[in-house]
Chains A and B, each alone.
Chain A
Amino acid sequence: MNVFTWINLVDLLVCAVILIAAVGAAVHRNLLSAVVFAGVASLAVSFLFLRLSAPDVAMTEAAIGAGLSTVIFLIAVRRTEETEGGER
């Protein structure tokens, strides 16, 4: 196995993490877990941006997408209800 296929394998793994985290964020009943899933998806996307040689976008995604917006969502969840209502 040469270097290039190895790197592509890592990229594919990251893509799989993004997909799983995005689906998790969409379907998870507990909103705290959903927020954490969304943060993981953002972090994986920022790694992918870095791999596609866009460090500027990767930094923005990591600092704002994975960092600050996750915290803002966590505060917002604490202000409201921790589980999705209407279906219990």
Chain B
Amino acid sequence: MKQIVSLVALATLAVLLWHLAPIAMPSDLGSVASHYVTHGIEDNRGSNLVTSVIVNYRGLDTLGEVTVLFLSVSGVAFVLRRRTGLEILKPRPASEIVTTGARLLFAPIVLFGAYIFVHGHLTPGGGFQGGAVVASAVLLLILADRDRTLPHAALAWLESLSGLGFILAGAVGLVVTGSFLANRGVLPLGVWTELFSAGIIPVIYILIGLKVGSELAALLDVMVHAADDEEARS
């Protein structure tokens, strides 16, 4: 029954979206979009236009997005917080190959994630993608060694400070130029396609990367260990 209901729901969604297909393939850009395309490089000096839109033009929306992520992670941590006074059975330890491989791969994966969010204004990707890659490296470490617990206090501080830094970077724009998250006039824009360019965009994207990475890592840690507790109880 449930299967039939979900199939009907899928089919209804497909029919509804079918009519949206012509809208999804526009032949020309709207006025706002064409401003982004024609003035984007001149305004922000970032070679990745998508990042310019996400962090600068629509920076306030990104702040909301980061807040949504923070609230959902807080909710999961609140609901699944570790029950104390419970005898925890040790899950079967991972094999030597898995633990050694995880230790070997952890540093390169974190480095790759950091590369993605540091170069967010130059190449595809940015804070959210890089943060997810960093979190996946932490997941590998947790799965290889279940006894390992993450330094939750340090992660919480990192997450809070980077969130605060995002708002402060916006507030600096408000003080200096009179508009929140302003880019022009806050930091030098630099030379197009160089690492130190695009003003405050890389600063904000690095902060977003740290925030997303620490949040997702803490979320995975809470979920994995809550699942272990559940197994120990049953």
CB-defined interface of B117-128 with A at 8 Å, one 1/0 digit per residue?
Answer: 000000011101
Closest to A64 in B: B132
The interface residues of chain A lying within 8 Å CB-to-CB of B226 are 79
The interface residues of chain B lying within 8 Å CB-to-CB of A56 are 48, 50-51, 124-126, 129
The interface residues of chain B lying within 8 Å CB-to-CB of A59 are 116, 124-125, 129
Q: Does B223 contact A (CB under 8 A)?
A: yes
Q: Does A68 contact B (CB under 8 A)?
A: yes
The interface residues of chain B lying within 8 Å CB-to-CB of A26 are 3, 6-7, 9-10
The interface residues of chain B lying within 8 Å CB-to-CB of A68 are 132, 135-136, 139, 216, 220
**Contact at B220–A78, with CB atoms within 8 Å?**
no
Using a CB-CB cutoff of 8 Å, which residues 186-234 of chain B contact chain A?
216, 219-220, 223-224, 226-227, 230-231
Assembly CA distance A78 to B223 (angstroms): 10
Using a CB-CB cutoff of 8 Å, which residues 15-36 of chain A contact chain B?
22-23, 26-27, 29
Q: Does B2 contact A (CB under 8 A)?
A: yes
Instruction: Indicate whether A23 sits within 8 Å of B132 (C-beta atoms), given known contacts A71-B220, A78-B227.
Output: no
Assembly CA distance A56 to B9 (angstroms): 29
Choice from B2, B132, B223, B230 contacting A63 with Cβ under 8 Å:
B132
Assembly CA distance A72 to B231 (angstroms): 17
CB distance from B168 to the nearest CB of A (A): 26
Closest to B120 in A: A56
A to B contact number (C-beta, < 8 Å): 64
Secondary structure of the B contact surface, majority rule:
helix
The interface residues of chain A lying within 8 Å CB-to-CB of B116 are 59
Using a CB-CB cutoff of 8 Å, which residues 147-189 of chain B contact chain A?
none
**Contact at B129–A27, with CB atoms within 8 Å?**
no
**Contact at B1–A63, with CB atoms within 8 Å?**
no
Q: Does B114 contact A (CB under 8 A)?
A: no
CB distance from A38 to the nearest CB of B (A): 12
Known pairs A23-B10, A27-B3 / 10 extra A-B pairs, C-beta < 8 Å: A26-B9, A56-B125, A59-B116, A59-B129, A64-B128, A64-B132, A68-B135, A72-B219, A79-B223, A87-B2
- B residues at A contact (CB < 8 Å): 1-3, 6-7, 9-10, 48, 50-51, 116, 124-126, 128-129, 132-133, 135-136, 139, 216, 219-220, 223-224, 226-227, 230-231
Between A and B, 26 residue pairs with Cβ closer than 8 Å are A23-B7, A23-B10, A26-B9, A27-B7, A55-B124, A56-B48, A56-B124, A56-B125, A59-B129, A60-B132, A63-B129, A63-B136, A64-B129, A68-B136, A68-B216, A68-B220, A71-B139, A71-B220, A72-B220, A75-B220, A75-B223, A75-B227, A78-B227, A79-B223, A79-B226, A87-B2
